[in-house]
Amino acid sequence: MRYEAIRGGFCVSADSARLDLDVIHSYLSRSYWAEGISREIVARSIRNSLCFGLYEGVQQIGFARVITDRTSFAYLCDVFVLETHQKQGLGTWLMECVMACPELQGLRRWLLATRDAQKLYEKVGFTPLTDPGRFMHVHRPGIYKSRESAT
């Protein structure tokens, strides 16, 4: 039995078998961070991550993906709540559920990157980097918009 939390008619579940790839790909492919991403890449990323679906009844209305070794580190990404359900506290609840997942306790570090949703993540304990100079990255924005990676 995978981790699950229920509130009213809503559910957060870490059961990847419940995920609706159409909903996830449809959202991510028009998101500001993964515009143009293909269905196949979304499916592969889900297979290799710990993913959380947010559901109203059987309908998926939100998503969060955690790339992790389940021991020391986690990178939180691809978080969304469908426009029809935003600003009702569901994004906050989804984040609370992710952070409470038994498989993700005792990690040394969590990371994420966001353009404008800092307030959401501050609610569950994230802070700006205290020493950004210690971090380095390889960043390829727009990679999914190129034809070669669109398959």
Ligand X SMILES: CC(C)(COP(=O)(O)OP(=O)(O)OC[C@H]1O[C@@H](n2cnc3c(N)ncnc32)[C@H](O)[C@@H]1OP(=O)(O)O)[C@@H](O)C(=O)NCCC(=O)NCCS
What would the x/- binding string for ligand X be over residues 103 to 142, using CB under 6 A?
-----------x-xx-xx----------------------
Question: Helical H runs in 29-136?
Answer: 39-47, 90-100, 118-122
Task: Tell me which of 71, 89, 100, 145 binds ligand X, using CB under 6 A.
Answer: 89
- Tell how far CA 148 is from the center of its chain: 25
User: With respect to ligand X, which residue has the nearer C-beta, 21 or 71?
Assistant: 21
User: With respect to ligand X, which residue has the nearer C-beta, 89 or 125?
Assistant: 89
Nearest to 27 by CA among 75, 60, 55: 60
Using CB under 6 A as the criterion, which residues of the chain lie in contact with ligand X when the complex forms? 79-81, 86-92, 114, 116-117, 119-120
